[in-house]
Amino acid sequence: MAGFVAVLRKDLTLELRGGESTLALVALSILILIVMVFALNPVGGAADAPIAAGALWVAMIFAGMAGAARVVLAERDNGCLRALYLSPLDRGALFLAKLAAASIFMVVAEAAVVVMLVLFFNLDFDGRLARMLPALALGLVGFAALATLLAAISGRVHAGDLLMPLLAVPLYVPALIAGVKASAAALAGAPWSALADWLRIMAAFDVLFIAAGFILFEHLLGED
Amino acid sequence: MDAPLIEARGLFKSFGATPVLRGVELEVAPGRGLIIIGRNGAGKSTLLRLLAGLGAPTAGDARLFGVSSRKLEPSARRRLGMLTHQSYLYPNLTARENLEFFRALYRVAAAPTEIPRWLERVGLARFADERVRAFSRGMEQRLALVRALIHRPDALLMDEPFAALDPDGAELAATLIREALERGCAVALTAHRELDFAADRCVSRELVRGRLLDSGAAPARTDAEPRLAHAADAR
């Protein structure tokens, strides 16, 4: 637990100082959202709920690939990832600390994106947004877990940076579909029961990605 | 003789078709030092990486504390100190924050004065709250020495520990390594040429084309100060 806290505190200190991951996430998310608005030309209101939900998730995923992975990739500066590998820190705890840091950065970015989404799609700040939060939270944690895992893999292989987008999207598709459906239903004012199945699917994916990361991180950090 | 803390048995390493290490055998007991001398590209850094468990050997075994280096438990990893060409320091953290982080990582129950004392010792007290990115290479190397030693490791692997250090810094590094040896730490370090320090505890062996030649006694010290001629070359 002490190691988890030390790594998370260090990552947050570095982020507060440099802001690289969060700024990249926010800027890229908003840019993607703007492109989607221009491309789809929404009329606003509940009728655009599926489009708004789709735009939100596209922004989250593509920005997340650039930003969330940095919590692992930044450790390669000065060989710091090797220092963590050699330290007595449990590698599962290291994965969880990195996941927590990536999730926090994504929460900040997504908060900004949701505000922009409301403005661009002429939505109301009401209970429908609150109903979308569980889907966003589950999707965000799952994607952060996947991005952290893939970032560790990408450091081991030639041209690993290319691997990240090639693997992240296909692996995340089931959770993405569930997230978009749940968000669209929430924005359209559907009852909780209409969201429940989608949320269960997302929760299952979160458990899968987090468990995979917790178990595999140790093997992915070593070198050949 | 005490059981060796650092060992290599028939260690081979190839990158593709290029052999780098060819059957390296070594062992370092507690309180003893091994100076691995070799030219650029001789395989010194690769050997240390394998000993630390950072890479997988093509054949043979690298062991720390009697266990294969790739299978060290956290309690064994806590006993290892490593110094490489990379400082393993976070450029955007201050010197003090870096040491606090590694102290927490290694669960060192040190007094609050411990870190200022270390910084004072390596001549960085004035720069305690400066970010490492503003440090010169030599300052970073001094801080990296503290990072490698702050948890009082039982085994030290050091890749050219005197590189980038000025004569005072090289003398300081020699003193710190000597102290580690005297408290029973096993040390394996690399250098480009013979080092004349801790001759009573260290043995020099030359790594030539991936083969570690038989040991010979380190040259006797000829004056009161350790001669670290290569430190000047490395700067």
Neighbouring CB atoms inside 10 A of A157's CB total 11
Angstrom CA distances, B4 to A185, B35, B198, B199, B214, stand at 66, 15, 19, 19, 17
Phi/psi of residue B37, each to 5°? Answer: -100, 135
B136-188 pLDDT tens trace: 999 999 999 999 999 999 999 999 999 888 899 999 999 999 999 999 999 99
Please provide the average confidence, as pLDDT, over all residues in chain B. 87
DSSP line for B62-91: EEETTEEGGG--HHHHTTEEEE-SS----T
* Chain A residues whose beta carbon lies within 8 Å of the beta carbon of residue B64: none
How confident is the model over B25-49, as a mean pLDDT?
92
CB contact under 8 A, B105 and A82: no
Q: Classify A164 in phi/psi space as left (phi over 0), alpha (psi -120 to 50) or beta.
A: alpha
How confident is the model over B54-83, as a mean pLDDT?
92
How confident is the model over A1-18, as a mean pLDDT?
88
* pLDDT attached to residue A1: 80
Q: Give the residue numbers spanning the domain of A200.
A: 2-221
* pLDDT attached to residue A105: 87
How confident is the model over B99-124, as a mean pLDDT?
89
Q: Residue B210: what residue type? A: G
* pLDDT attached to residue A45: 60
Tokens 């450029």 locate to: B91
B60-71 pLDDT tens trace: 999 999 999 988
* pLDDT attached to residue B233: 39
Q: Is the pLDDT of residue B226 over 70?
A: no
CB contact under 8 A, B86 and A7: no
Q: Which residues of B212-233 are buried (b: 16+ CB within 10 A; e: fewer)?
A: beeeeebeeeeeeebbbebbee
Segment among A43-57, A128-142, B144-158, B166-180 with least mean pLDDT: A43-57
Q: Does A12 reach chain B within 8 Å, measured CB to CB?
A: no
B15, burial (CB in 10 Å: exposed 0-12, middle 13-18, buried 19+): exposed
Tokens 């589950």 locate to: A138
Q: Is the pLDDT of residue B217 over 70?
A: no
CB contact under 8 A, B86 and A78: yes
* pLDDT attached to residue A154: 79
H or E segment at B160?
none
Show the domains of chain B with their CATH numbers: 1-78+154-161+183-235 (3.40.50.300), 80-152 (no CATH)
CB contact under 8 A, B105 and A89: yes
In chain A, how many domains are there?
A: 1
Residue A169: pLDDT band with limits 50, 70, 90: confident
ipTM: 0.84
